[in-house]
Structure 1
Amino acid sequence: MNLIQQFTRFVIRKSFHLSVGIIESCIDTTSSRQQQKHLKQLPPGTLGNDIAVCLEQHQLRLVPGFESHDLKHVLLGFKMTPEDEIRLQAFMIGNGNYTFASFAILLFGVLLLPDCWLIFIKDWRNGRKAVPISIWTIDAYAHYSTASLQQSLYPEINTTIEKIAFMNVFVRWGAFAAIAAGVFGMLFCLPFLFSSSMKDLVGAGFPFLGGAVIAGAGLIALSNLSTAKVKKGLAL
């Protein structure tokens, strides 16, 4: 990271910290402190508990009127940092949240962080793919599992994964059926290959080879499935 990039990030951090300080000084946060304590008491893994833990880790607190903002940070996996705040706004604009604050923050980031333009575009595209979440509130979703909510964000992707899983099962059983049919055909034709009759040799030879090809195709299909699983595991 060069000096210009370090300076722009310093300006962004100071600007956001100043903004948060002004907002907190102008709003009574007594009720939000109580709400944050209540969220901390929820079972681990719930969205409410994850929000409270995240706020504590960053030494932040809920601000009345901005609770849903913290929800989006945790739900979408964006850190509570100035840079990720800009990424969050790029996502939310793609998600249909056309507010002055979102556009202003994103424009601020675009002007000061040209090296992050591709990241902002990617976040914007992800927002377009996700279900609308601009109206989600902590009161409505605090008791839900964070992981299950995250999985529900991209229904098209989840549907594709289910289709792929179904096709894998279909191919696997088809491969087993091909191997069984091929081996059965080979065993059935095997006795005729020892016949002294040319008709038996020819009549049994071709089906024997056909069974070998079918069984081999099944084995290759199983091998491809196993290789795909290994590559997926390494990628994770």
Structure 2
Amino acid sequence: MKKYSISEKIIKKSFYLSVWIIEKICDTEKLKSKIAELEKLEQGTLGKEIAKNLKENNLNLVPNFESHDLKHSLLGFKMTPLDEIRMQAFMIGNGNWSLVSILIFLYGVILLPNKWNIFLQDLRKGQQAIPIKEWRIDEFADKQIDELRQSLFNPKTQKVYSMKKWTVREISQYGSFAIIAAGIFGMLFCLPYLWSANIADLVGAGFPFVAGAILVVGGLINLSILSQKTELENSIPKK
């Protein structure tokens, strides 16, 4: 069995907790039957590989995140803490600037600073591949996985992403994500010391813990304000 570092264990438990919560609040029965259908596909197809990976890791398809498992199988990233972050790095480079991808990536960057060079390489690979963020299982399940992988870096269809120019709002938004991630990391780091009988430990950990909580709340407030502004702008009829 593979041994994980403390940081990787935190990432792994966080992901399994997230999946568990989603499974509890969503109906997963339809997706279980979908896995059974994927298992019936021919060997070498993307759908067959997805079903195989889920079975080997004792996982199910997660509602609204089915394409996540597609990307794991298509890109060859294992369902391990490190590869989970690596895949998000690839997808961000590939143009998938979603809230979930950015938060997971920042979470990994903070907890795994010794892997930054690997994440950078994956991000660059994502920039060199054709866009796959819109790919869905229903559309590609019966396609041969080797052929799909070759098409990702086909020079004829390849699109290299240049660094986008960020607006003030985008900088503020992604800055909020970074602040929230930093605050959560600070709180988790200080949490064990808050149970210490040593007053010095309590005081030394208490202030950073509160500061981390303030960062999280501040980031959430800023995101809420940005969301309200966006909704207001969208509600104004365009001339």
For Structure 1 versus Structure 2, the TM-score category normalised by the shorter chain is 0.5 to 0.7
Q: Distance in 2 between matches of 1:52 and 1:99?
A: 25
Aligned to 2:68: 69
Cα deviation, 1:55-108, whole Å, max 9, x if unaligned, reads: 000111112211111000000000112221111110000000001111111110
Q: If the length of structure 2 is used for normalisation, what is the TM-score?
A: 0.63
Counterpart residue number, 1:20: 19
Instruction: Tell me which structure has the larger Cα radius of gyration.
Output: 1
Deviation at 1:155, TM superposition (A): 1.2
Count of aligned pairs between the two proteins? 155
Partner of residue 85, structure 1: 84
Distance 2:112 2:14 in 1: 14
SS state at 2:147 partner = helix
Q: Is the 8 A contact 1:46 1:146 kept in 2?
A: yes
The aligned runs of 1:1-236 (5 Å cut-off) are 6-156=5-155
Residue 22 of structure 1 deviates from its aligned partner by: 0.8
Deviation at 1:156, TM superposition (A): 2.2
Deviation at 1:158, TM superposition (A): 9.7
Quote the sequence identity (%): 51
Partner secondary structure for residue 54 of structure 2: helix
Question: Is residue 19–residue 62 contact of structure 2 (8 Å, CA) maintained in 1?
Answer: no
Show CA shifts across 1:25-62 (max 9, x none): 11110100010000000001000011001100011111
Instruction: Report how far residue 7 of structure 1 moved.
Output: 1.5
Amino acid at match of 1:137: R
Deviation at 1:157, TM superposition (A): 9.1
Q: TM-score scaled by structure 1? A: 0.63
Moved over 6 A (4+): none
Gapped regions of structure 2 (runs ≥ 5): 159-239
Contact 2:96 2:133 in 1 (8 A): yes
Where is the helix percentage greater, Structure 1 or Structure 2?
A: 1
Tell me, which stretches of 5 or more residues in structure 1 are unaligned? 160-236
